[in-house]
């Protein structure tokens, strides 16, 4: 089966969202992760855990984020991190 560019982008979006939410769930122990959840207030993820999350994402997606993209002031919500993964445009290498 050949997927169109649109289908591939849709697949990446779902992979990114599912994978990021799974990694976050593993860090905070919460099962129902929402895109609008904030790391500090809603998920109780501190700065060290957040760095661990970003490193795990880099490894899982085989990317290296630019330092400027990892500014915690710009990555407050789950959706912000999902968008960051999509920006780098790679799918989860574990699947």
Q: What is the pLDDT of residues 37-90, one digit of tens each?
A: 999 999 999 999 999 999 999 999 888 999 999 888 899 999 999 999 999 875
pLDDT at 89: 79
β-pair partners for 77: 38
**H-helix segments, 33-76:** 47-61
Query: How many Cβ atoms from other residues are within 10 Å of residue 53's Cβ?
Result: 21
Decide: helix, strand or coil at residue 30. coil
What angle, rounded to 10 degrees, do the helices at 5-28 and 47-61 form? 140
Whole-structure pTM over 0.75, yes or no? yes
CA–CA distance, 49 with 33 (Å, rounded to integer): 16
82 within 8 A of 17, measured Cβ to Cβ: yes
pLDDT at 5: 38
């Amino acid at each position: 089966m050949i997927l169109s560019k649109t289908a591939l982008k849709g697949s990446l979006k779902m992979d990114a969202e599912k994978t990021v939410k799974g990694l976050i769930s593993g860090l905070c122990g919460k099962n129902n992760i929402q895109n609008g959840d904030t790391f500090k207030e809603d998920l109780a993820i501190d700065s060290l855990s957040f760095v661990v999350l970003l490193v795990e994402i880099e490894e899982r997606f085989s990317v290296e984020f630019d330092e400027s993209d990892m500014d915690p002031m710009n990555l407050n919500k789950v959706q912000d991190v999902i968008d960051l993964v999509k920006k780098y445009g790679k799918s989860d290498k574990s699947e």
